[in-house]
């Protein structure tokens, strides 16, 4: 999608074995449309060569404040003024100490100190041994650099190069890319608490069989990610899907419609926006067998009775929290035909201000979609695009409607 098109990133590498991840991070930033200028410390050059980073970035690598290539011989000024952001990945414990102390005895820390703080953000991706990460000195330095205006990204948990396991490893390149994209996203939902449902439900017939549908959850997960990037605190209640949780999103896994209802109702009372993208089963078996139902050779088929599942969207939309205007509810309708007619009827029936419709069979499991927005004023189409792009558009639509809800 070229989500970083027009952005110029100074990618700084300090000394650490995680420098090997910086090569892929550089490529990932460029794939999203950014230009990347690499600056390395002497210690970083012990782990990966400047030649590698020059080949990947397509630009000469800077490593010394005495670099004479600049006409004014001031690379720390030139590089920091050109940047839309400075990203230090990896940022070692030593480099955190340098930043906290305001040291400027090599190029990378010097350009961090010289950057115009009001327009050039500093993003730091920690990378160090778990004991170094937990040390009080490191934590003090983290607190100081945050106080000084830097943004410290999260650390990963897992195996470390030293053979130990714990916190402190640098995030993976794809995770860092997601964090950079999120950082630049307009914070249209800052201060909002968004609750999203996604995926199908699974209604058990017996311990090994059940009734479900083709919903992949991709649209709901894309919406959760877009809401988080827009500055919201996001909770995602997900049916049985095999999708990675978007960074910064709190996920709750459920199976059945009843489990989803139990997870949603109390959390909806703390939310300001509820987006019900889940494809919840309309019915469930009245009685789920405790043992597998087996064929007995008679040719007789089992007789199943069904009961209607709870209407989660209607329950939330008719809650006092929503009725007094403190919760903006958005419903989804996956139809097979007559989309506008069914979407309009469902919006009125559910009692929600905004209903989003799509043709289910055309989008289940796919990475793209087309949406129809239906409200009291009429309807509007969001043309065919990736679910990622549509999620961003939908979040912008919702954000634009919130002030009207609150007046």
Q: How far apart are CA 69 and CA 71, in angstroms?
A: 6
Place of tokens 């230009």: 35
Q: At what angle do helices 218-229 and 387-406 cross, to 10 degrees?
A: 60
Q: How far apart are CA 331 and CA 380, in angstroms?
A: 15
Q: Phi/psi zone of residue 120: left (φ > 0), alpha (ψ -120 to 50 degrees), beta?
A: beta
Q: How far apart are CA 135 and CA 93, in angstroms?
A: 10
Listed in order, strand segments (DSSP E) in 267-317 are: 273-276, 283-285, 306-308
Structure tokens at 129: 């041994």
Listed in order, strand segments (DSSP E) in 129-282 are: 151-152, 156-159, 165-169, 193-198, 203-204, 210-211, 233-238, 250-253, 273-276
Full strand arrangement of the beta sheet holding 151-152: 35-40, 8-13, 85-91, 122-126, 151-152
Beta bridge partners of 358: 334
165: nearest Cα among 156, 173, 174 = 156
> How many Cβ atoms sit within 10 Å of the Cβ of residue 132?
16
Among the listed residues 19, 91, 112, 162, the single catalytic one is 162
Residues 212 and 200: beta-carbon distance below 8 Å: yes
Q: How far apart are CA 234 and CA 221, in angstroms?
A: 11
162 an active-site residue? Answer: yes
Active site residues: 162
């Amino acid at each position: 999608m070229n989500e970083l098109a027009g952005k110029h990133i100074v990618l700084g590498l300090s000394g650490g074995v995680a420098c090997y991840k910086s090569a892929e991070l550089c490529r990932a930033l460029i794939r999203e449309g950014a230009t990347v200028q690499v600056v390395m410390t002497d210690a970083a050059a012990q782990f990966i060569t400047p030649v590698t980073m020059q080949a990947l970035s397509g630009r000469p690598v800077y490593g010394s404040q005495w670099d004479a290539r600049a006409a004014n011989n001031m690379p720390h000024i030139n590089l920091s003024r050109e940047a839309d952001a400075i990203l230090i990945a990896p940022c070692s414990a030593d480099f955190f100490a340098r930043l906290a102390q305001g040291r400027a005895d090599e190029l990378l820390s010097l350009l961090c100190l010289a950057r115009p703080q009001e327009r050039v953000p500093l993003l730091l991706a920690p990378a160090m041994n778990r004991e170094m990460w937990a040390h009080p000195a490191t934590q003090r330095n983290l607190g100081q650099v945050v106080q000084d205006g830097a943004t410290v990204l999260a650390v990963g948990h897992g195996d470390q190069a030293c053979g130990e396991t714990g916190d402190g490893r640098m995030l993976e390149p794809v995770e860092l890319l997601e964090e950079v994209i999120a950082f630049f996203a307009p914070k249209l939902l800052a201060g909002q608490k968004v609750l999203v449902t996604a995926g199908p439900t699974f209604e058990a017939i017996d311990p090994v069989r059940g009734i479900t549908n083709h919903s992949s959850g991709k649209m709901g997960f894309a919406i959760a990610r877009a809401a988080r990037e827009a500055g919201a605190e996001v909770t995602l209640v997900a049916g049985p899907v095999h999708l990675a949780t978007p960074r910064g999103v709190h996920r709750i896994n459920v199976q059945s419609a009843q489990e989803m209802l139990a997870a949603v109702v109390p959390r909806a009372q703390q939310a300001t926006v509820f987006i019900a993208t889940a494809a919840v089963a309309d019915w469930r078996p009245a009685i789920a067998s405790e043992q597998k139902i087996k064929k007995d050779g008679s040719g007789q088929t089992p007789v199943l009775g069904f009961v209607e599942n709870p209407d989660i969207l209607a329950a939330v939309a008719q809650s006092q929290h929503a009725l007094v205007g403190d919760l903006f509810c958005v419903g989804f309708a996956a139809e097979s035909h007559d989309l506008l007619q069914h979407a309009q009827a469902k919006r009125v029936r559910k009692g929600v201000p905004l209903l989003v419709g799509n043709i289910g069979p055309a989008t289940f499991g796919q990475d793209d979609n087309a949406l129809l927005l239906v409200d009291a004023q009429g309807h509007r189409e969001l043309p065919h695009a990736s679910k990622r792009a549509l999620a961003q558009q939908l979040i912008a639509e919702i954000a634009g409607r919130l002030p009207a809800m609150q007046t």
